């Protein structure tokens, strides 16, 4: 009888979403006392195409990785941009990165804003604090095709004037959109509005029957913004929120980001209000 031959099993290829790609930091900017923006380029020369609202798992080698929304221009896949708030060990290391440092990138991941769904109608973009970063690509995409949209409102709230992000962008966007900025607390040097971002919604001029709203910020802020938009006549299925609850793996395996039947990292982070409205504010979910 012929001798038995043992054949080693062939390992299945590792999905790309599991493997970090090396990206080099090419530029950094300190936005506020606790927030920095990094511009990255892939070491292999291939860019990272993405849709507005998606995120990556960004890693500081030897320290860890965290989910960070992409804040760059979707028309520039060669330049990956992340705006990061220093809230822990990994984000502290990322905010401290300098040009020449190499970071790991997995992605792009998740569901985006679906900006094309607003074509032919009005668009209301509402951001609170760092929530303007995930919305910045959507604004850039809309303004690059401004003729495809009706009235465009960018309503932004920050804690103080020192916490306002993308100051130059906000000024530039005002030439093609209605841009309103408000702060919770202001010194005498602040000449703008003072108050909650929800107070800007009644002032915005849009047709509820043909409007899409994109909202990102703290969950409590998004709940009140959603209520204000509904009071203006927007149906819940035309209001989209970006949720970022405890994402760890980015690919739906670990379960840390589960919100009842949703895994935020794969079913979101952008979800329509009518899908998640009963779940918001329930701490146990």
Domain ranges of the chain: 16-109, 115-241, 243-285
Task: Kindly state the average pLDDT of the residues 81-101.
Answer: 97
* Residue 85 to residue 68: CA distance in whole angstroms: 9
Task: Kindly state the average pLDDT of the residues 262-276.
Answer: 95
Q: What is the pLDDT of residue 6?
A: 59
User: Tens digits of per-residue pLDDT, 155-178?
Assistant: 999 999 999 999 999 999 999 999
**Which of these CATH numbers, 2.60.40, 1.20.58, 3.40.50, 2.10.240, describes 243-285?**
2.10.240
Name the pLDDT band for 229 (thresholds 50, 70, 90). very high
CATH topology of domain 115-241: Rossmann fold (3.40.50)
- Please tell me the pTM assigned to this model: 0.93
Cα 278 to Cα 1, 171, 180, 216, 273, distances in angstroms: 68, 37, 30, 18, 9
Residue 269 has pLDDT above 80, yes or no: yes
Residue 243 tokens, joined:
């949720």
Q: Is residue 206 within 8 Å of 233, Cβ to Cβ? A: no
Could you tell me the end-to-end alpha-carbon distance of the chain, in angstroms, rounded to an integer? 62
Helical ranges in 124-238 per DSSP H: 132-144, 167-173, 219-231
Q: Is residue 61 within 8 Å of 43, Cβ to Cβ? A: no
Architecture of 16-109 per CATH?
Beta Barrel (2.40)
Helix (H) or strand (E) holding 239: strand 239-242
Helix (H) or strand (E) holding 40: strand 35-42
* Residue 25 to residue 38: CA distance in whole angstroms: 7
Q: What is the pLDDT of residue 36?
A: 98
Residue 228 has pLDDT above 80, yes or no: yes
* Residue 247 to residue 105: CA distance in whole angstroms: 15
Cβ burial, residue 196 (10 Å; 0-12/13-18/19+): middle
Q: What is the pLDDT of residue 8?
A: 59
User: Tens digits of per-residue pLDDT, 3-23?
Assistant: 565 565 666 666 777 889 999
């Amino acid at each position: 009888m012929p001798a038995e031959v043992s054949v080693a099993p062939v390992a299945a290829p590792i999905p790309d979403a599991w493997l970090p790609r090396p990206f080099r930091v090419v530029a950094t900017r300190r936005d506020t006392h606790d927030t920095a923006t990094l511009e990255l380029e892939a070491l292999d020369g291939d860019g990272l195409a993405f849709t507005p609202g998606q995120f990556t798992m960004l890693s500081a080698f030897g320290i860890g990785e965290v989910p960070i929304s992409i804040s760059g221009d979707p028309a520039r896949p060669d330049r990956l941009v992340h705006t990061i708030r220093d809230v822990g060990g990994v984000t502290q290391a990322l905010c401290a990165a300098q040009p020449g440092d190499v970071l790991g990138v997995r992605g792009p991941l998740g569901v985006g804003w679906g900006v094309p769904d607003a074509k032919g109608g009005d668009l209301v973009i509402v951001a609170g604090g760092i929530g303007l970063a995930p919305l910045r690509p959507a604004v850039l995409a809309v303004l690059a095709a401004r003729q495809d949209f009706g009235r465009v409102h960018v309503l932004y709230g920050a804690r103080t004037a020192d916490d306002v992000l993308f100051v130059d962008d906000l000024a530039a966007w005002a030439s093609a959109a209605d841009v309103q900025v408000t702060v919770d607390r202001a010194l005498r040097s602040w000449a703008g509005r003072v108050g909650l971002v929800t107070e800007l919604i009644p002032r915005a001029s849009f047709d509820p029957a043909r409007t899409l709203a994109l909202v990102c910020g703290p969950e409590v802020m998004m709940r009140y913004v959603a209520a204000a938009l509904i009071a203006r006549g927007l149906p819940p299925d035309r209001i989209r929120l970006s949720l970022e609850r405890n994402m760890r793996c980015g690919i739906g395996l670990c379960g840390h980001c589960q919100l009842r039947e949703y895994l935020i990292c794969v079913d979101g982070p952008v979800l329509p209000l009518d899908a998640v409205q009963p779940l918001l504010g329930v701490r146990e979910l």
